[in-house]
Chain A
Amino acid sequence: MKSKIINMAEKIKDAEDRLLESLFESPPLADDGFSAAVVRKVNRQLWFRRLTLPVATAIGAAIAFKPLAALVSTLANFSALIPEDIVIGATSSIPQFQTIVLGAILLVVGLVSMRMLEH
């Protein structure tokens, strides 16, 4: 009720208000390609944002490839030094070790993919 009264009071305009309205009035501006230009900018920004993550990932992978390969070969050399009976003992105590590791990797990849799709 109170807000209705306030709105009514706002609508009651005196001659001065009407004069100011006519002074402040401007003819509507033609679009003349304005909205198309903004939409083009928005589309460019969208594509840029969509491409940023994959491009950054590719660049990161390219940079990390060489040190990662070196690390893998070092680990391979290191594993050759471990006595064979210890390796056999570890895998036999956890029979589905490889399946568990594979499952964990798939779970992490799946979660990351879902997150990316959501975004």
Chain B
Amino acid sequence: MLSSSTDNELVARAVSGQDTAAFGELIRRHQSHVRNFLRKLAGDYTLADDLAQDCFMHAWDKLQSYSGRGSFIGWLLKVAYTTFLQSKRKSKRYAEILESAGQVADQESRSAVHPNDEVSDLDKYLAVLTEEERAIMVMSYACGLSHREIGDATDMPVGTVKSVIFRGKEKIRNSFEIKDHQHG
């Protein structure tokens, strides 16, 4: 029954009757996109999965604000991106407190141990991009959102989204000569 409902029907059920089963079905449908999006942004799988849980908790609280105008995954990625930025700000503040307490060296030595020792091609490409470019490129090329949906998710005009994508592509192209790859 739930699996045959559309996203908007499930949202309506979850909002009107506080139906957590309907919300559970929404999570099952979209968890892969959200977790993959956050993994690419955060670069740390454990942190990304924690952020994904926080994202869905925020989504539950804000579900009434989803108007049904755009796609639900677009709205969800907006919540995920906001959650990611909030967590970044918090960890920045935490790092500042540590720095003022003189513990930064210890923290750096711990964070240097990355869970994924193998650096993929994608990690290399993402490394040359700014945080904003990374988020927009991932939304476009990994999640398949339209420029309009990305604009809604990032609160940017469509023209700005297009220019960020153009800039991101140019950076990747210049850093890795992607055109040469493409032609063999």
Chain B: which residue is nearest A28 at the CB level?
A: B32
- Chain A nearest Cβ from B23, distance in angstroms: 7
A92 in contact (CB, < 8 A): no
User: Is there an interface contact between A21 and B147, defined as CB atoms closer than 8 Å?
Assistant: no
| Known pairs A34-B49, A35-B24, A42-B23 / 12 extra A-B pairs, C-beta < 8 Å | A23-B141, A24-B40, A24-B138, A24-B142, A29-B31, A29-B32, A29-B35, A34-B35, A38-B27, A39-B23, A43-B20, A46-B20
Contact in complex: B27, A41 (CB < 8 Å): no
Would A10 and B146 count as touching, CB distance under 8 A?
A: yes
Please tell me if B82 contacts chain A, counting CB pairs below 8 Å.
Answer: no
Chain B residue nearest to A21 in the complex (CB): B141
Interface size on B, residues (CB 8 A): 36
Q: Which residues from 1 to 49 on chain A have a C-beta closer than 8 Å to any C-beta of chain B?
A: 6-7, 10, 15-17, 19-21, 23-26, 28-29, 31, 34-39, 41-43, 45-46
Interface 1/0 per residue, B29-51 and A, CB below 8 Å:
00110011001100000000100
Whether B27 pairs with A29 at a CB distance below 8 angstroms is no
Q: Is the interface of A mostly helix, strand, loop or mixed?
A: helix
Give the residues in chain B near A17, CB-CB below 8 Å.
Answer: 141
Assembly CA distance A85 to B173 (angstroms) = 99
* A7 touching B142, Cβ below 8 Å: no
Which of A21, A36, A45 is in CB contact (< 8 Å) with B24?
A36
Judged by a CB distance under 8 angstroms, whether B122 is at the interface is yes
B83 to chain A, nearest CB (A): 13
- Chain A residues with Cβ below 8 Å from B122 are 23-24
Residue of A19, A24, A26, A37 touching B137 (CB-CB under 8 A):
A24
